Amino acid sequence: METIRKLIRKQSLEKLYNQLSATRKVYAPVTAADSQTEYKYNPAFTDITFDHIRSTLSVKNVVFPKVENLFFYSNAKTESTITDVDINKIPEVVLWGAHPCDNAAFDILSSIFCWDITDEFFSKRLEKLVVIGLGCSKSDEYCFCTSVGLAPDSAKGSDILLIPLQNGDYLADILTEKGNNIVQLSPELFETAGDEKSALTEVKQKFSHDKVTTKLATAFEHPFWVENSLRCLGCGACAYVCPTCACFDIQDETRGKDGKRYRSWDSCGFGLFTLHTSGHNPREVQSQRWRQRIMHKFSYMPDRNKSLGCVGCGRCSSGCPVDMNIAEQLEVLQNI
């Protein structure tokens, strides 16, 4: 549908939130006293943060939970059986106040989970998700959305995008039918927009993703990978906080004869990730695993998934225990 721009005042936003929160699951950011922001289900409106820079974890778990049960089994030798998970029980979730980088990640995750055959767990969760995005009024040195083709007010992935205004109110861009359905719950809260000034932050571009992608096509054997990953611990924190990392493991868990098979988050940064049973490992050292991470996001995905695998949220860098900064590295890499 064509985007409709409206104005919503802060007190109307509270009414809208309370209405939504009373009738469905709403996942919204709350900043604790230690200034860490975490998403919670149905917090009080007064606890919700509107000016956080980035939550500690991304919000990908709403479509790609840390652990997703795939089915249940009963292991009885000749009479083993499988019981399905009822995906129709997946509830509608309103994602409230997530920033454009996080929301742009849903398309990228889609390009992985649905590129060939469709992963019904992912697609059902995405179908049940309504995203009320929030443009960014603050940023920091780790933000680099503008280097990967996004901006503090990118609408990608949002059903409604709220843009903060200097007077404390918000513009509401209604982008999809799903978003419009939310508006129709209380259309009176959405007023005619004027020419109010936005309070969006500016994020400086650090590198050209096109240049990075072009460079990577011939950089597989470059010493850059070893030089820039010597301090990498292989801890996987970057993948853990990343909104687009989708690598997963599949494991069984049994008690007695009953159990479940589940899919859980994994990371290409771990040595065990690619280890063959024979002991051979195609990515046996950390530099090869670091290269895989960058190559996957900036070279393989643009080619195979027609999408970069990065939204420039900066979490991998801000969360890295040894301060490996991806944007700084790509700034160097584009010119090697």
Rounded distance, CA 291 to CA 237, Å?
A: 16
> Is the Cβ of residue 250 or residue 322 nearer to another protein in the bound state?
250
- Scanning residues 14 to 73, which ones bind another protein (CB under 8 A)? 70-71, 73
249 belongs to the binding site for another protein (CB under 8 A): yes
- Quick one: which segment of 53-61, 182-190, 193-201, 252-260 binds another protein (CB under 8 A)? 252-260
Longest Cα–Cα distance of the chain, Å, equals 71
107 belongs to the binding site for another protein (CB under 8 A): no
Tell me the number of residues near another protein by CB under 8 A: 55
Residue matched to tokens 């027609």: 306
223 belongs to the binding site for another protein (CB under 8 A): no
HSE-CB at 65 with a 13 A cutoff on CA atoms is: 10
- Scanning residues 259 to 298, which ones bind another protein (CB under 8 A)? 259, 261, 263, 266, 268, 273-278, 280, 282-283, 288, 292, 295-296
Which of 11, 118, 166, 184 contacts another protein by CB under 8 A?
Answer: 118
Which of 46, 78, 192, 218 contacts another protein by CB under 8 A?
Answer: 78
40: helix, strand or coil = strand
CA angle 50, 51, 52 (to 5 degrees): 105
144 to 148, 177, 195: CA distances (angstroms): 7, 30, 28
List beta partners, residue 71.
84, 261
Tell the smallest beta-carbon distance from residue 245 to another protein (Å): 8
CB 159 within 8 A of CB 131: yes
Rounded distance, CA 316 to CA 268, Å?
A: 14
The binding site for another protein (CB under 8 A) comprises 70-71, 73, 75-82, 84-85, 112-113, 115-121, 123, 220-221, 246-252, 254, 259, 261, 263, 266, 268, 273-278, 280, 282-283, 288, 292, 295-296, 299-300, 303-304
